[in-house]
Amino acid sequence: MHEYSIVQSLLESCEEHARQNEAKKVTKVVVKIGVLSGVEPDLLQTAFDTFKEQTICHDAQFLINVQKIEILCHDCQTKSTLEKHEFSCPKCQSTNLKVTDGEDMYLMSLELD
């Protein structure tokens, strides 16, 4: 389960940001997870809840925003959000696409106290 190592890195990043801002604790952590990132939101939530106890994030609320797949069609230049994992342009049906969002995981924001 690579979610555990992701959470350990995330908690280290939170502690570093808190230290840089002279905060005593982190009250909220918001992440964005792309559906193609390979990260399972439920497992990430469980891992965060498990490992946060002995950190500056021990009382932090953890919010996960799931990012759908966004594409750019090279044929008709249309930007679209895919509702399903059907990789074709909703406008022209082309498969000549570039994925522009939905593949990564980002730390979006922290609330510090």
Provide the H-helix boundaries in the chain.
3-20, 41-51
Judge whether 76 is annotated as a binding position. Answer: yes
Q: Is 89 annotated as a binding residue?
A: yes
Residue 14 marked ligand-binding = no
Residue 73 marked as a ligand binder: yes
* Residue 57: how many other CB atoms lie within 10 Å: 24
* Tally of CB atoms within 10 A around 65: 11
Q: Which two tokens stand for residue 50?
A: 């498990």
Q: Is 57 annotated as a binding residue?
A: no
Annotated binding site for Zn(2+): 73, 76, 89, 92
Annotated binding site for Ni(2+): 2
Annotated binding site: 2, 73, 76, 89, 92
